[in-house]
A and B are shown apart, each in its own frame.
Chain A
């Protein structure tokens, strides 16, 4: 079997990847809208609750060290059964990256490049992703390291610029929790817990490649909390600027909110910052899901994943177009079907199912190791 050199990413890079991954599309499409003016609370709650599954993922990985999710499946379930699950996961990863790509395409075509066909956006974007992944995970890590400060800086700058433009009305956030915690919990399950936080399951393919695996879990959880807070902040800024109704109406609330920035009739039209933030987040998100799927293909077909990159990239670009006929279909699938039918089983179902087997296998391996 022909495998490439094992790549390593540093903990800083892992931290950045996790946060950019979480911002990804979540920061644009406006999450937790159902909780109205309390959606920022919902984001915090969901983020804190997500520590449990993420901790569970890292725990699962730590039982059989230095193996990713698919390799663990192979060890635990045997070659044949594991292949079924791995193929399902590959489909899941590719489907989600196609969805994320579609989010981005809709944003660009709907708001910026109105005359450009969405196919062109998808294909060029995937070419870029394919090129990065062809060079390897390390390149993705370093790439993110370079751009992360701009990402964080822009997100904070937006809030501050809005504040100085006198567009941040804290009264829009009032009243806090007028109907109790009910609506908040309603958005946390299943929406927020699966998107964006539960999608961290894709990092089960990345974590074993962190340079200091022992700290990888802690880094991920730390990144989760930090980006959860930043997402809540962004949600807060959106509500305070637009009000809960307009935020719900807007396709890309953060973009709409940024449009309100106007300082001294001079700093205006800074929406482009948002497009940059989004592009970077989406890039990381698509790349990581894509990488997860590719790693699966590598395992199943016993060939280095680089052989699959370009054809698969084009398939994802194609999928991103055909998964839905129009924007309404795209969004309603994302709200009513994807969380229950797709996210839940892959994010929580299968890992939980795997759990007893992993524990048992880890014990066996340990005793075997001792015998030797």
Chain B
């Protein structure tokens, strides 16, 4: 009986060990940093994974070998391929640290919602990875192009795009969840970032590329990929991308504004805030986009005296005019060329005039392309760096 009394609790305690059922030692797993999906030659998809080679990232242990290994497989479903990667790789793959998803152009043109569902559903992926469209090049090459400072290609691209977004606004802050939200929303169409490789992709695939002062090949961001539903329909360039971001949530940017014949001022824009008012004018929707921002002068090529209030006023007016036409041009281009509401004007309409939007929500993109857009910028030029008068200013 006494033995029983001891035995029973110890048997019950065994149950608590089940918490370790799912453990995996760190040296049994490999972390995937990037996934590239493109059109397969024999099957629907060709999936490439970039796996971090952790020992090469440690400064003391690094032997100068590759920091990242890639492997590709072809098949019809991403999830199967990702589980099958051990055809060529040793360890169990973990996707929780995936930072980039590169999608090939052909796949994107045919529609990507098929595999986005897996990414959202699996729970293995965090949604803080960047969605990228590889323009004119093979998506897998993005995962293979090294860079000396950030050695793992997918992490490099991730950092690159988030820094560009923060510093200049040239990349959309579009994560998987945002993309899917735009896809499911009737009043918005998704966008993703587009990138390409400058130089010869083959040269970038070796660690030797890291030893050159000017890399033989370099991944560069080229702008915005515009989607209709889940299909890629076109691109916007970097400037237009910045204008797009400005209507969303721009952090800061720099503008070059003409102030005279062939002369320019450089203005740093910060604390920008855009508000949109939606309305229906009979049958045409109209939107007032109001942009309020602060700015300071980075440099000037003009002679205007920066100690005078009038100069500030003139510059402010110049900047406002430029911002207004610039953004309006981008919106008009999207309206005319692509006819998809990537700006989310429909969502604003839904928030502000729910009934009107509900009536037209199935043809929203048509409504958007005929909408009147009015942009008003209100830019405050606050100060001009560390000097007062420019040395260009002539004494009067």
Contact = CB atoms under 8 A, between A and B. Distances in A.
B59 interface: no
B149 interface: no
Nearest to A241: B177
B123 A120 contact: no
A99 to B, nearest CB: 22
Given A116-B21, A124-B18, A243-B181, A175 B128 contact: no
A242 to B, nearest CB: 7
A270 to B, nearest CB: 12
B354 interface: yes
A107 to B, nearest CB: 11
A259 B127 contact: yes
Q: For chain B, which range describes its interface: under 10, 10 to 19, 20 to 34, or 35 or more residues?
A: 20 to 34
B317 interface: no
Nearest to A115: B22
A110 B351 contact: no
A113 interface: yes
Interface in B12-53: 12, 15-16, 18-19, 21-22
A245 interface: yes
A366 interface: no
> Is chain B's interface secondary structure helix, strand, loop, or mixed overall?
helix
Contact of A260 (B12, B127, B185, B355): B127
Contacts of B181: 242-243, 245-246
Interface string A174-192: 1100110000000000000
B273 interface: no
Contact of B128 (A171, A242, A262): A262
A146 B354 CA distance: 47
A110 B123 CA distance: 8
A115 B21 contact: yes
B177 A116 contact: no
A260 B177 contact: yes
A116 B18 contact: yes
Interface of B: 12, 15-16, 18-19, 21-22, 96, 120, 123, 126-128, 177, 180-181, 184-185, 347, 350-352, 354-355
12 contacts: A112-B22, A114-B22, A115-B22, A116-B21, A120-B18, A121-B18, A123-B15, A124-B15, A124-B18, A171-B351, A245-B184, A259-B126
Given A123-B15, A243-B185, 9 more contacts: A112-B22, A113-B19, A116-B22, A117-B21, A120-B15, A121-B18, A124-B18, A124-B19, A242-B177
